[in-house]
Amino acid sequence: MEHTVSLKENHLFRRAYNRGKSAADSRLALYVRRNGRRNSRLGLTVSTKVGCAVVRNRVRRRLREIYRLNEERLVSGTDVVIVARVRAAESGYRQLEKSFLKLADKLSLLKKDVSP
């Protein structure tokens, strides 16, 4: 994650939840808010409802990798909070990636393609 910093402070998460735009499906909920900076910040939330520590960490690693591989396609200068839902634990990598990209597109987080 070259241009992204981790979002760690609780008040930044709450600001994204309360003032940001959101979209959700059965696997993920995505909260996006402009941060007025040059770089983006990523926060991940995986509740204990998702599963034991091994399962939660697997979901967290998958989401971090999905974000890393698609980072160049995303608009910079945003706070992005990804909340994993219970169905994320039983979902494969491709399903999570498809879900993330669909939600990012819905929130206008994907860059507009300039080439024809």
Structure tokens at 102: 């669909």
**Cα gap 48→50, rounded to integer Å:** 5
- Cβ partners under 8 Å of residue 62, min gap 6: 93, 96
Written as tens digits, the pLDDT of the chain (116 aa) is 667 899 999 999 999 999 999 999 999 999 999 998 889 999 999 999 999 999 999 999 999 999 999 999 999 999 999 999 999 999 999 999 999 999 999 999 998 864 44
